[in-house]
Structure 1
Amino acid sequence: MQGLTRRTRGWAVITGLVLLVSACSPTSPPDVAISPGSSAQQGANAAPVTCRTSLDDELRRLKVPGLSVGIVKHGRLVCTGVAGQADVRENRPVTPDTLFIQASVTKTVTATALMRLHDQGKFRLDDDINNYLPFPVRNPNCRQKPITFRQLLTHTSSIKDFPDMGLLPTEQLLPQDSDIPLTDYLKSWLTPEGRNYDAGEVFHKDCPGEDYDYSNMGFVLAGELAQRIGGKGLDDLAREEIFTPLGMKETSYFRRSLDQNRMAMPFDRTSSGFQALGHYGEPNWPDGMLRTSVPQLARFLLMFMGDGEYDGRRILSASTVAEMRKVQFPKLSKEQGLAWYYRNFEGRRHVLGHVGEDHGASSYMFFDPNDGSGVILLANGNWYKREESPAADKLASALFREAATY
Structure 2
Amino acid sequence: MHKKLRPKLVLALALIFNLWSCDPQDIPPTSTVDELGEKITQLFKSSRLPGVSMVVLDNTKILYQKSLGYSDVESQRPYDAETVQTIGSVSKTLIAFAIMKAQELGKLDMDDPINDYLPFEIIHPEYPNTPITIRHLAQHTSGISDEASYLKAYVLKYPDQDYSRLPETAQEYIEVIKENTDIPYSEYLENVLSTNGKWYTGENFTKDKPGTRYAYSNIGATLAALVVENATGASFSDFTAQFAFSPLGMNMTSWEKSEANKTHFATRYFPEGTAVPDYHLITTPDGGLATNTSDFALYLMEMLNGAQGTGKLLTQASYEEMYTRTKIGKSSSGVFWSVSEKGVLSHTGSDLGILSLAAINPKKNVAAFLMTNVSAEDDDNLLESIEELWNTLKRHQWPNDQVYSAHQKHPN
Per the shorter chain, which TM-score range? 0.7 to 0.9
Matched, 1:244 2:246: yes
Letter in 1 for 2:13: I
Letter in 1 for 2:143: S
TM-score, structure 1 length as denominator? 0.85
Spell out, residue by residue over 1:272-330, the C-alpha distance to the aligned partner (whole angstroms, 9 max, x if none). xx1112442111111001100111111111111111799x9821111111111111234
Task: State the distance in 1 between where 2:88 and 2:144 align.
Answer: 20
Q: 1:263 to 1:210 in 2, by over 3 A?
A: same
2:304 maps to which residue? 305
Q: Check whether the contact 1:308–1:316 (CA below 8 A) recurs between aligned residues.
A: no
Matches within 5 A, 1:248-287: 248-270=250-272, 274-287=273-286
Q: Check whether the contact 1:162–1:202 (CA below 8 A) recurs between aligned residues.
A: yes
Matched, 1:363 2:365: no
Matched, 1:194 2:187: no
Q: 1:104 to 1:317 in 2, by over 3 A?
A: same
Q: Check whether the contact 1:35–1:54 (CA below 8 A) recurs between aligned residues.
A: no
Q: Tell me by how many angstroms 1:179 deviates.
A: 4.7
Matched, 1:181 2:177: no
1:318 maps to which residue? 316
The 3-state SS of whatever aligns with 1:375 is: strand
1:379 maps to which residue? 372
Matches within 5 A, 1:51-90: 52=37, 54-60=39-45, 62-90=47-75
1:399 maps to which residue? 393
Find the partner of 2:81 among 69, 79, 96: 96
Letter in 1 for 2:32: P
Q: Tell me by how many angstroms 1:73 deviates.
A: 1.3
Q: Tell me by how many angstroms 1:402 deviates.
A: 2.6
2:410 maps to which residue? none
Q: Check whether the contact 1:308–1:317 (CA below 8 A) recurs between aligned residues.
A: no
Q: 1:257 to 1:119 in 2, by over 3 A?
A: farther
Q: Tell me by how many angstroms 1:181 deviates.
A: 1.4
Letter in 2 for 1:212: Y
The 3-state SS of whatever aligns with 1:269 is: coil
Q: Tell me by how many angstroms 1:133 deviates.
A: 0.7
Task: State the distance in 1 between where 2:386 and 2:139 align.
Answer: 25
Q: Check whether the contact 1:113–1:238 (CA below 8 A) recurs between aligned residues.
A: yes
Q: 1:210 to 1:287 in 2, by over 3 A?
A: same
Q: 1:61 to 1:194 in 2, by over 3 A?
A: farther
Find the partner of 2:207 among 199, 205, 208: 205
Q: 1:269 to 1:322 in 2, by over 3 A?
A: same
Q: Tell me by how many angstroms 1:119 deviates.
A: 1.2
Q: Check whether the contact 2:145–2:205 (CA below 8 A) recurs between aligned residues.
A: yes
Q: Tell me by how many angstroms 1:4 deviates.
A: 5.8
**Larger deviation: 377-386 or 286-295?**
377-386
Letter in 2 for 1:357: S
**Larger deviation: 387-396 or 213-222?**
387-396
Q: Check whether the contact 1:75–1:302 (CA below 8 A) recurs between aligned residues.
A: yes
Spell out, residue by residue over 1:118-162, the C-alpha distance to the aligned partner (whole angstroms, 9 max, x if none). 111211111101001111111011111000111101110000122
Letter in 2 for 1:14: L
Q: Tell me by how many angstroms 1:83 deviates.
A: 0.7
Q: Check whether the contact 2:149–2:199 (CA below 8 A) recurs between aligned residues.
A: no
Unaligned runs of 5+ in 2: 155-172, 401-412
Letter in 2 for 1:187: E
Q: Check whether the contact 1:158–1:204 (CA below 8 A) recurs between aligned residues.
A: yes
Matched, 1:224 2:226: yes
Q: 1:96 to 1:339 in 2, by over 3 A?
A: same
1:389 maps to which residue? 383
Letter in 1 for 2:354: A
Q: Tell me by how many angstroms 1:241 deviates.
A: 1.1
Q: Check whether the contact 1:102–1:378 (CA below 8 A) recurs between aligned residues.
A: yes
Q: Check whether the contact 1:155–1:214 (CA below 8 A) recurs between aligned residues.
A: yes
Task: State the distance in 1 between where 2:104 and 2:206 align.
Answer: 31
Q: Check whether the contact 1:189–1:195 (CA below 8 A) recurs between aligned residues.
A: yes
2:339 maps to which residue? 342
Letter in 1 for 2:392: A
Matched, 1:164 2:149: yes
Task: State the distance in 2 between where 1:37 and 1:206 align.
Answer: 49
The 3-state SS of whatever aligns with 1:242 is: helix
Q: 1:21 to 1:122 in 2, by over 3 A?
A: closer
Q: Check whether the contact 1:55–1:82 (CA below 8 A) recurs between aligned residues.
A: no
2:96 maps to which residue? 111
**Larger deviation: 150-159 or 105-114?**
105-114
TM-score, structure 2 length as denominator? 0.84
Find the partner of 2:27 among 27, 30, 33: 30
Q: 1:403 to 1:364 in 2, by over 3 A?
A: farther
Unaligned runs of 5+ in 1: 39-49
Q: Tell me by how many angstroms 1:252 deviates.
A: 0.7
Task: State the distance in 2 between where 1:226 and 1:282 align.
Answer: 19
The 3-state SS of whatever aligns with 1:291 is: strand
Q: Tell me by how many angstroms 1:170 deviates.
A: 3.5
Q: 1:262 to 1:173 in 2, by over 3 A?
A: farther
The 3-state SS of whatever aligns with 2:399 is: coil
1:41 maps to which residue? none
Task: State the distance in 1 between where 2:304 and 2:359 align.
Answer: 10
Identity rate, percent: 27
Spell out, residue by residue over 1:362-397, the C-alpha distance to the aligned partner (whole angstroms, 9 max, x if none). 000101121111111010002354213243233222
Q: Tell me the number of residue pairs that the alignment of Structure 1 and Structure 2 aligns.
A: 380
Spell out, residue by residue over 1:196-252, the C-alpha distance to the aligned partner (whole angstroms, 9 max, x if none). 1111x1011111011111111111101111111121211111111110001001111
The 3-state SS of whatever aligns with 1:97 is: coil
